Amino acid sequence: MAIKFKLIAACCDNMGIGKNGDLPWRLKNEMAHFTRMTTETLDANKKNVVILGRTSWDCIPNKYKPLAGRINFILTSRKLDVSQFEDTYVFYCWNDIVNRLNDANFKQKYEDVWVAGGSKVYEAAMSSEYFYRLYLTRIKKEFECDTFFPNLVSHVEKVSDTRVPQGIQEEKGIQWEIEVWENRKLKLDN
Ligand SMILES: NC(=O)c1ccc[n+]([C@@H]2O[C@H](COP(=O)([O-])OP(=O)(O)OC[C@H]3O[C@@H](n4cnc5c(N)ncnc54)[C@H](OP(=O)(O)O)[C@@H]3O)[C@@H](O)[C@H]2O)c1
Q: Write down how long the chain is.
A: 190
Q: Which of 149, 103, 110 is CA-nearest to residue 126?
A: 149
Q: Ligand 1, atom 28: nearest CA belongs to which residue?
A: 121
Q: Given a cut of 60, is residue 173 above it in pLDDT?
A: yes
77 lines ligand 1 (CB under 6 A): yes
User: Which residues have a catalytic role annotated?
Assistant: 23, 30
Q: What is the CATH number of the domain that holds 64?
A: 3.40.430.10
Give pLDDT, residue 188. 56
Any idea what DSSP says for residue 144? -
Q: What is the mean pLDDT of residues 46-72?
A: 96
> What is the 46 CA–ligand 1 centroid distance (Å)?
26
Neighbours of 11 (CB within 10 A): 20
pLDDT bin (cut points 50, 70, 90) of residue 73 is: very high
147 lines ligand 1 (CB under 6 A): yes
Q: What is the mean pLDDT of residues 52-74?
A: 95
Give pLDDT, residue 189. 56
Give the CB-side neighbour count of residue 2, counting CA atoms within 13 A: 9
23 lines ligand 1 (CB under 6 A): yes
3-class secondary-structure state, position 33 = helix
Question: What is the C-alpha separation between 158 and 188, in angstroms, rounded?
Answer: 16
Q: How many domains does the chain have?
A: 1
Question: Which residue range forms the structural domain that includes residue 99?
Answer: 5-176+184-189
Average predicted confidence (pLDDT) for the chain? 95
Give pLDDT, residue 185. 87
What are the pLDDT digits (tens) for 84-124?
999 999 999 999 999 999 999 999 999 999 999 999 999 99
136 lines ligand 1 (CB under 6 A): no
> What is the 120 CA–ligand 1 centroid distance (Å)?
7
